[in-house]
A and B are shown apart, each in its own frame.
Chain A
Amino acid sequence: DVKVTQSSRYLVKRTGEKVFLECVQDMDHENMFWYRQDPGLGLRLIYFSYDVKMKEKGDIPEGYSVSREKKERFSLILESASTNQTSMYLCASSTVSENTEAFFGQGTRLTVV
């Protein structure tokens, strides 16, 4: 059974804290993605990665960074958390082939207070 695992389901952090969201996939997928999901806005892409140590900015990268040191792990970093980063964060992975679906983690609901 394919799996994308996010390290936390729920997180509460203080404004200004550095926050790490971890995502691990066991499918040997090349592509990994971080999205945030907000009511009325759907899923918006933050960053994605095609390969180890590679990263590309998505639509809303400001305030975030990522790290991909190993193929199976893709970390999202909030350098200095702010209240407008309170959201649901979803990690996904996919193969490099076109027209194949992405597999999603269960999501991390982050609240910044």
Chain B
Amino acid sequence: SQELEQSPQSLIVQEGKNLTINCTSSKTLYGLYWYKQKYGEGLIFLMMLQKGGEEKSHEKITAKLDEKKQQSSLHITASQPSHAGIYLCGADDWTGGFKTIFGAGTRLFVKA
């Protein structure tokens, strides 16, 4: 079955700094999702990528899917305390029925 690996597991950045979170798949990605989770709460959808080379932005967050469709990165520019939380990548997986699988998450701390 497909697996998603996220790195780093945890990240502490100073407010105003840029950062990147990576998500790597063991198989070709046909639908890659980025979610954000505030501590102890549900997941909030950020973006979805489908095509190789695709890039999407929402406010100061940019997500890219590489040409081979096996790796995605999430880049935050000029981080703010409001960016703190857990970022999870998810992917469509057809093994044993259509569902979404997730990476282990990256816990982001932003120091004011």
Given contacts A106-B41, A107-B42, 5 further A-B contacts (CB under 8 A): A40-B9, A41-B104, A43-B105, A45-B101, A99-B30
Residues of B5-45 whose CB lies within 8 A of A: 6, 9, 30-31, 33, 35, 40-45
Write out the residue numbers on chain B whose beta carbons fall within 8 Å of the beta carbon of A102.
Answer: 33, 45, 90, 100
Residues of A42-83 whose CB lies within 8 A of B: 42-45, 48, 50, 56-59
Write out the residue numbers on chain A whose beta carbons fall within 8 Å of the beta carbon of B103.
Answer: 42
How near does chain A come to B6, taking the closest CB pair, in angstroms?
A: 8
Write out the residue numbers on chain B whose beta carbons fall within 8 Å of the beta carbon of A101.
Answer: 33, 45, 48
Residue of B nearest to A90 (CB): B42
Q: A43-B102, A90-B43, A104-B43 are in contact. Are A56 and B9 (CB under 8 A)?
A: no
- In the complex, per-residue mask of B43-59: 1 if CB is within 8 Å of any chain A CB, else 0: 11100101000000000
How near does chain A come to B3, taking the closest CB pair, in angstroms?
A: 10
Asked if B40 and A88 make an inter-chain contact with CB atoms under 8 angstroms apart, the answer reads yes
Q: A99-B31, A101-B45 are in contact. Are A42 and B102 (CB under 8 A)?
A: yes
Interface size on A, residues (CB 8 A): 30
Query: What are 7 A-to-B residue pairs whose CB atoms are below 8 Å?
Result: A35-B102, A43-B88, A99-B48, A99-B50, A104-B44, A106-B41, A107-B41
How near does chain A come to B38, taking the closest CB pair, in angstroms?
A: 10
8 closest A-B pairs (Cβ-Cβ)?
A42-B104, A43-B102, A104-B42, A104-B43, A99-B31, A106-B42, A101-B45, A42-B102
Write out the residue numbers on chain A whose beta carbons fall within 8 Å of the beta carbon of B97.
Answer: 48, 50, 56
Write out the residue numbers on chain A whose beta carbons fall within 8 Å of the beta carbon of B4.
Answer: 42
Asked if A98 and B88 make an inter-chain contact with CB atoms under 8 angstroms apart, the answer reads no
Asked if A42 and B88 make an inter-chain contact with CB atoms under 8 angstroms apart, the answer reads yes
Write out the residue numbers on chain B whose beta carbons fall within 8 Å of the beta carbon of A103.
Answer: 45
How near does chain A come to B48, taking the closest CB pair, in angstroms?
A: 6
Residue of B nearest to A106 (CB): B42
Task: Give A72 to B96 CA distance when docked, in angstroms.
Answer: 23
Write out the residue numbers on chain B whose beta carbons fall within 8 Å of the beta carbon of A50.
Answer: 97
